[in-house]
A and B are shown apart, each in its own frame.
Chain A
């Protein structure tokens, strides 16, 4: 077990990347991710990390260069947020389609307009279908641990897919938290040198990124989908082996006081900390409220979510992203689809909160639960509700 220290979470991610001994980093500065790549640049400058750091001229080129480094067999990392992720959009599909196991950290941030450097999850929710393995951390320790896990998952020969570790911008990325870093020796033993499956090598020429005509495109997409669905077991396996080695356990879904709960709050990311306090207070007041935090976003943990939420009367889903004019926040609409096959299913109420750096407070969770009680009594009045709007 490592030493317990206080560290900014961004820097904890950088530490994990260093301990993973990445070979290449290509990144472009954008708030609130920048501390991660600044720290990596410093590590390279100080000779602590033996990697090629490509200081690209845009996020589009960052992901393009990552495709290049990964294609020749380099363990590759990048980080971005918000507009940067949006600029990468085109490349994200290609990175997964070409089966390049790049690891990316996203310090989740709002999308413009109006311009906002502050946190929410609109950026990554717009990238739901890119075909990457995607997960969300709540704490600094989790950010550190999951970053290490991402490399092992992405590079597993059964997966070979790019992988995202999401950390909430500012509320997680910029806070100093107590956490344990692991030793290089232990990480080396758990995460050996990357041995790529496919490499651009003149000794064995391959054609990467060809044209796929209609008679083959569907089959290639099917293969990719099988790989992403199949990555689920590998994710579980990697988390189990991580627990064995380092003693900290991770599951696709995290339940808190949810077993007998009538109303369960479902959310993703760092606001779970506040939600837990709200749940405790409401429990003290005799309300049967619980919390389920979804950690693994892609592949979506259908069975675990059904198990964790299927027994409740209602699920109050809190999204830090808005699907304008749609069926509710992205987490809520995924959950509705997930629960739909159940004979007896909870009511799913969708709430939008914490946009563009707006705090999600304990009071907000009280409001959300009260609104959900109303929905239980009278049924839906809105597809979704925005919480904390000043009118």
Chain B
């Protein structure tokens, strides 16, 4: 019997880990998994500009490093600005013959805090200036590095150390900031949402993002057993449930047109996603119902937009 493609494809991937094993990530870290997949696709001709955060501290405790490719960390809120400089510097030095020729992928990486909160301005500036780089936001929905404090990317109802649930509090009492939507408003040629629970999808999106000329963006939901308080062997499953329930829809926006990766008419109930996570444990049935309603509405709006976009003429159809 022929092998299934899902058995076969991983063997085509380069076995070498450029984001090396042995880093100091927590057990079952979804963010490290996402990074590994992104870097695998990016390959050796890549420079990574990392924001301060989990992935930075776990990968670079001097004199150890998990990076087999050039890597720079400057500060928390400026990964996109540093990447701007790296991209610009390479461009001008290659023109002057003072930097090796060939395409260099410039990737900026930040968590949700480093991207949606403190790094939003630098990100917006770099996108607006049309630097040729890819920004990867690994979104684990709170400041996990400093001990699970809420960010603007923390979902409604989640309990964190600075948005704790209690007698008078539901936890995070505002909806999650829709960062991809803000990024999309910069009219960049390519952005996508992804999740390491769908490795081929994430890797294909990484490939596309790196191939496109200009700024591109990947928003990667990265389950965090430590912060979400689910069992350490459930990160992949949590990501799948986030997608299958419609909590985190996977889509691409290519030259302004949104395409949903899979249109799920029947979705898993959000309670399946919320229940294994300690951060949602306090939610009452009516609050879960409320979340279900909001998720459904948003998902339907995306389906509708994707249908409309499919009929719209593409503004700037690039082939890859």
Write the residues of chain A forming the contact surface with B, with a CB cutoff of 8 angstroms. 23-24, 26, 50-52, 54-58, 60-61, 64-74, 76, 90-91, 94, 98, 193, 199-213, 216, 220
Contacts and interface: CB of A to CB of B under 8 A. Distances in A.
A37 to B, nearest CB: 15
Contacts of A65: 81-82, 84-85, 88
Contact of B85 (A71, A90, A207): A71
Contacts of B49: 68
Given A56-B125, A200-B47, A202-B46, A61 B78 contact: yes
Contacts, number: 171
A61 B125 CA distance: 9
A51 B56 CA distance: 31
Contacts of A201: 70, 99-100
A91 B89 contact: no
B60 interface: yes
B283 interface: no
Contacts of B96: 23, 50
A205 B85 contact: no
Interface in B73-97: 73-75, 77-78, 81-93, 95-96
Interface residues of B, number: 49
B44 interface: yes
A66 B122 CA distance: 13
B72 interface: yes
Interface in B131-173: none
6 contacts: A50-B96, A69-B89, A72-B85, A200-B70, A202-B69, A210-B65
B121 interface: yes
A72 B72 CA distance: 10
Most buried by A among B57, B72, B128: B72
B85 A54 contact: yes
A23 to B, nearest CB: 5
A67 B82 CA distance: 6
B16 interface: no
Contact of B122 (A23, A52, A60, A76): A60
The 6 closest A-B pairs by CB, nearest first: A68-B85, A57-B125, A64-B81, A64-B78, A65-B85, A69-B89
Contacts of B83: 68
Contacts of A54: 84-85, 88, 129
A24 B67 contact: no
A50 B70 CA distance: 26
Given A71-B85, A202-B46, 17 more contacts: A50-B96, A54-B85, A58-B121, A65-B81, A65-B84, A65-B88, A68-B82, A72-B89, A72-B93, A90-B75, A94-B75, A201-B99, A202-B70, A208-B71, A210-B60, A210-B62, A210-B65
B45 interface: yes
B44 A91 contact: no
B74 A211 contact: no
A203 B69 CA distance: 9
B99 A72 contact: yes
A205 B82 contact: no
Contacts of B56: 211
Nearest to B68: A205
A66 B60 contact: no
B88 A68 contact: yes
B63 interface: yes
Given A65-B82, A210-B60, A211-B61, A74 B125 contact: no
B98 interface: yes
A213 B57 CA distance: 10
Contacts of B99: 72-73, 199, 201
B72 to A, nearest CB: 4
A58 B124 CA distance: 11
Contacts of A57: 121-122, 124-125, 128
Most buried by B among A65, A67, A68: A68
Nearest to A207: B65
B41 interface: no
Most buried by A among B73, B75, B89: B89
Most buried by B among A26, A55, A76, A210: A210
Given A51-B92, A209-B73, A68 B86 contact: yes
A71 B100 contact: no
Contacts of B125: 56-58, 61
Given A56-B125, A73-B98, A208-B73, A24 B89 contact: yes
B109 to A, nearest CB: 13
Nearest to B67: A207
A67 B86 CA distance: 8
A210 B56 CA distance: 8
B263 interface: no
Given A71-B72, A208-B71, A202 B47 contact: yes
A69 B85 contact: yes
Interface string B29-67: 000000000000000111101100000110011110101
Contacts of B129: 54-56
Given A73-B93, A73-B98, A209-B73, A64 B44 contact: no
Given A64-B78, A68-B85, A200-B70, A23 B121 contact: no
Contacts of A205: 67-71
Nearest to B73: A209
Nearest to A73: B93
Given A71-B72, A72-B93, A193 B98 contact: yes
A227 B211 CA distance: 42
B200 interface: no
A67 B125 CA distance: 16
A230 B63 CA distance: 25
Given A68-B81, A210-B73, A74 B93 contact: yes
Contacts of A64: 74-75, 78, 81-82, 84-85, 122
Nearest to A22: B92
B74 A209 contact: yes
Nearest to A67: B74
B104 interface: yes
Given A57-B121, A58-B121, A64-B74, A202 B45 contact: yes
Contacts of B98: 23, 73, 193
A70 B60 CA distance: 21
Contacts of A209: 50, 60, 72-74
